[in-house]
């Protein structure tokens, strides 16, 4: 039995080294305008989620979700995030679709992650995705404000929804009875 287990471990190591070798000599495409293999997507998303789980501090948002703070978060999003993640007009971003992997449309497909998770992603960025770290550009309070906005996109108070409507000419998304706007979140690519 021991030889069998060692054989399996050896084969897995050979496959890993072989995969890295194929990658290093350029046999695996690295272009951003084609869909990646499903296995690559699975491993990349798992690695990102596991890294967040391990490294992100589970802290509560110190900025209260008042109408004023949520409107400030909406403004910060519009100025800094909408070009890649889609605007308040609820259209996908052409630029965001050109990234590898494509930037998620955060208005069409609102986040369902906890605030600490979103804050960490915005503050530190996400390697190999084009998502920059905003900690050198935005204050910690501003990152918390945009985090509060993003985690409440479908549950905004009426004053914030009114501001959204007046500033964009489009109604804010509203959560339906199933807890989301009715979109399939898996289809956001």
State the CB neighbour count (10 A cutoff) for residue 69: 19
Say which residues have a Cβ less than 8 Å from residue 152's Cβ, sequence separation at least 6. Answer: 65, 70
- Gap between the Cα atoms of 74 and 106, Å rounded: 12
Say which residues have a Cβ less than 8 Å from residue 67's Cβ, sequence separation at least 6. Answer: 157, 159, 160
Q: What is the pTM of this model?
A: 0.78
What is the reported pLDDT for 45? 82
Residues of the chain with pLDDT under 70: 19, 22-23, 27-30, 177-189
149-180 pLDDT tens trace: 999 999 999 999 999 999 999 999 988 755 55
Residue 107 in contact with residue 92, Cβ under 8 Å? no
Query: Largest alpha-carbon pair distance within the chain?
Result: 70
131 in helix, strand or coil? Answer: strand
Which structural domains are found in the chain, ordered by start? 67-187 (1.10.760.10)
What is the reported pLDDT for 176? 74
């Amino acid at each position: 039995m021991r030889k069998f287990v060692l054989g399996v471990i050896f084969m897995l190591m050979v496959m890993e080294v072989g995969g890295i070798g194929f990658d290093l000599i350029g046999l695996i495409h690295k272009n951003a305008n084609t869909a990646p293999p499903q296995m690559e997507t699975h491993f990349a998303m798992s690695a990102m989620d596991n890294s967040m789980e391990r490294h992100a501090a589970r802290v509560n948002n110190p900025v209260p979700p008042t109408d004023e703070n949520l409107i400030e978060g909406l403004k910060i999003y519009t100025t800094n995030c909408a070009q890649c993640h889609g605007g308040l007009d609820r259209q996908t971003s052409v630029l965001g679709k050109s990234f590898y992997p494509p930037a998620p449309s955060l208005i069409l497909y609102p986040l369902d992650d906890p605030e600490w998770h979103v804050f960490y992603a915005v503050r530190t960025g996400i390697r190999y995705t084009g998502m920059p770290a905003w900690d050198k550009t935005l204050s910690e309070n501003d990152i918390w404000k945009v985090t509060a906005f993003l985690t409440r996109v479908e549950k905004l108070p009426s004053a914030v929804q009114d501001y959204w409507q007046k500033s964009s000419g489009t109604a804010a998304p509203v959560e339906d009875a199933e807890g989301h706007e009715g979109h399939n979140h898996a289809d956001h690519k």
